[in-house]
Amino acid sequence: MSTLVNKGSTITKRFDTSGGVGMSGFEDYLRPEVIWCLIGLVFLFAEFFIPGLVIVFFAVGAFCAAAAELMYGELSVNIQLAIFLVTSVASLALLRRVASHIFLGHKEGEADLMRNIDSFVGDEALAIEAFNPGERGRVEFHGSTWSAVSKLPVEKGQVLSITGQENLVLYVGPKTPDLDR
């Protein structure tokens, strides 16, 4: 409870510390485990706005520091910081790759790209324009327009077979009939 006391031209505020509300309610929020939990929540919130799936592991470290303080109580600030840093870096090093695959999806690497390129061979493409041997023309493949080169003349609208690929250029030839059918 506080009261205002007028002493001449200055007004002073006195606090009653004999059991009134005062600061004791606020002191509950200044406990280390509460502070670490709040820091962890801030890191979790920041992860939504900063891409990369890194900051969440610092939230894990903050929650581990809070849990250690709850379990053992009265840990020094240095020990709390050490727990925070060690668990943050360890979880980042050990779990980021797994978490990235789960939350961000699989990203194609060179091995995946080479497998995808090899899977083009034998597929059909449609000539968008006529072009001569050795010249670049345009074909449609999987809904996209690609540059293409052929050893034989190609007519507009001709169905072609992909024989290879180099960077963004497809090598094509005339579609041969399947003898298996």
What is the rounded CA–CA span in Å between residue 146 and residue 102?
A: 33
The tokens describing 46, both together, are 């920041």
Q: Look at residue 130 in the predicted model and tell me its pLDDT.
A: 93
Q: What would the pLDDT profile of 154-181 be if each residue is shown by its tens digit? A: 999 999 998 888 888 889 998 876 544 4
Token pair 């899977």: residue: 119
Host H or E run for residue 25: helix 24-27
Q: Look at residue 51 in the predicted model and tell me its pLDDT.
A: 75
List of residues 6+ apart from 145 with CB closer than 8 A: 128, 138, 139
- The CA dihedral of 106, 47, 87, 28, to the nearest 10 degrees, is -150
User: For residue 17, is pLDDT > 70?
Assistant: no
Closest CA relative to residue 126, chosen from 160, 151, 95: 160
Rounded to the nearest integer, the mean pLDDT of the chain is: 79
Structural domains of the chain ordered from first start: 2-103 (no CATH), 114-174 (2.40.50.140)
User: For residue 9, is pLDDT > 90?
Assistant: no
What is the rounded CA–CA span in Å between residue 55 and residue 97?
A: 14
Q: Look at residue 117 in the predicted model and tell me its pLDDT.
A: 55
The pTM is what? 0.46
Contact 154, 127 (CB under 8 A): yes
Q: What is the DSSP string of 126-139?
A: EESS-B-TTSEEEE
Q: What would the pLDDT profile of 48-79 be if each residue is shown by its tens digit? A: 888 778 889 999 999 999 999 999 988 999 99
